[in-house]
Amino acid sequence: MNLKQLNQFVVLAETLNFHSAAIRLNMAQPPLSVSIRHLEEDIGERLFQRSTKGVQLTAVGKSVLEHARRTIFHADQFRYAAQLVAGGQVGSLRINFVASSTLRLLPRTIIHFRASHPKVNLRLLEASTDSIMIGLRDGVIDVGLVRSPTPTYPSVMTVLIEPNHYVAALPKNHPMASREHLRLIDLRDEPFILPSPKDGSAAYMSMMLACQQAGFAPHIVQEASHAQTILALVESGLGVALVPNPWKDLVPRDVVFMNLDGMPTSKMGIAFACRREEEHGALVREFRKSIEAAASQVPLRFSPPL
């Protein structure tokens, strides 16, 4: 017994005519007769009473007709659901993201993805780059938006999506805030506010490396975990900071962001990350497409909640 035979049974039960049923099924009448006979032999009961006057359902045929219709319906639903999953249209994605991705990339990604995949459940959680990479390695999450460069795990792949560069964040009344040109080495004697290495060593090490390449070791007076905190400390005059350029889109404050001359080309920025074995999975693939589409658009400008 198979779904094809059940469908033939239902059509014949509705037409009670082999010729009409064969036309609806787009097949010849003799193969239909053979198929129905095999179905009856398989279940061990007659489904149709054949006579010179036509075809009639037997009592058994009448009793199982609705079951056959339900079976075909659920099979169609099963096929449809499988096609949706294969096409990345339904399911669930566990996504962890770094805070800086909310400034530009993440909001547009969600808008883009929701427009074409409204039935997919997105389970979003903010986390540090280090914890996201560990979560991907351990299979706890499906997708990560992380700050590059990242810790390296053989089972996790990353792709830089939104390249960033460092700018200097200075208090508005800082003597260097009015300069037309500024180099990182010009800040060598300034007190620095840096991200805490405990919350994600990648950002901390990247900034330390930038200062080292400029020819000095920064005098760190304070470490902080969040962009808002770092900028608030800069605003208070506690020190200066080296920050990714998307931080310019944070809420307006008495902080001046200045481009730095002579900074080396960097591979830093927001990167897409997933497990290598799931790189070509339907949902992961579709979400990556939305990220890449969002990265090519004009960035959103908004004030995230404090």
Instruction: Check residue 152 and report its DSSP letter.
Output: -
What is the structure's pLDDT at 301? 41
What is the structure's pLDDT at 146? 93
Question: Does residue 305 lie in a domain region?
Answer: no
In a 13 Å sphere around the CA of 255, the CA atoms on its Cβ side amount to 29
Question: Does residue 290 lie in a domain region?
Answer: yes
Structural domains counted in the chain: 3
Q: Which of 86, 107, 134 is the last residue of a domain?
A: 86
Same domain, 148 and 291: yes
- CATH code of 171's domain: 3.40.190.10
Cα separation of 127 and 142, whole Å? 14
Q: Which residue has the tokens 């914890």?
A: 131
Q: Which of 86, 111, 134 is the last residue of a domain?
A: 86
In a 13 Å sphere around the CA of 37, the CA atoms on its Cβ side amount to 8
Same domain, 226 and 171: yes
Cα separation of 50 and 62, whole Å? 15
Alpha helices, H only, 178-265: 201-214, 227-235
In the predicted model, residues of the chain with pLDDT beneath 70 are: 80-90, 199-202, 251-252, 265-266, 298-306
Same domain, 238 and 174: yes
Instruction: Check residue 176 and report its DSSP letter.
Output: T
What is the structure's pLDDT at 228? 83
Question: Does residue 107 lie in a domain region?
Answer: yes
What is the structure's pLDDT at 51? 86
Question: Does residue 306 lie in a domain region?
Answer: no
Q: Which amino acid is at 100?
A: S
- pLDDT tens for 37-80 read 999 999 899 999 988 778 999 999 898 988 888 888 788 777 76
Note whether 123 and 94 are within 8 A (CB): yes
Return the exposure string of 95-107: e unless at least 16 CB atoms fall within 10 Å of the residue's CB, then b: bbbbbbbbbbbbb
What is the structure's pLDDT at 265? 67
- CATH code of 36's domain: 1.10.10.10
Q: Give the structural domain span for 225.
A: 165-259
Cα separation of 135 and 284, whole Å? 15
Same domain, 59 and 115: no
Give the contacts of 290 (CB within 8 A, at least 6 positions apart): 109, 110, 112, 113, 116
pTM of the model: 0.62
Same domain, 154 and 282: yes
Question: Does residue 179 lie in a domain region?
Answer: yes
Query: CA 100, 104, 107 angle in degrees (round to 5)?
Result: 100
Cα separation of 176 and 137, whole Å? 44
What is the structure's pLDDT at 251? 61
Same domain, 82 and 141: no
Q: Which of 53, 86, 119 is the last residue of a domain?
A: 86
Note whether 87 and 49 are within 8 A (CB): no
Q: Which residue has the tokens 């089972």?
A: 155
Question: Does residue 267 lie in a domain region?
Answer: no
Same domain, 223 and 183: yes
Alpha helices, H only, the chain: 3-15, 18-24, 29-43, 59-86, 105-116, 129-137, 201-214, 227-235, 282-295
Same domain, 183 and 229: yes
Cα separation of 133 and 113, whole Å? 23
Question: Does residue 265 lie in a domain region?
Answer: no
Same domain, 181 and 223: yes
Of how many residues is the chain composed?
A: 306
Question: Does residue 301 lie in a domain region?
Answer: no
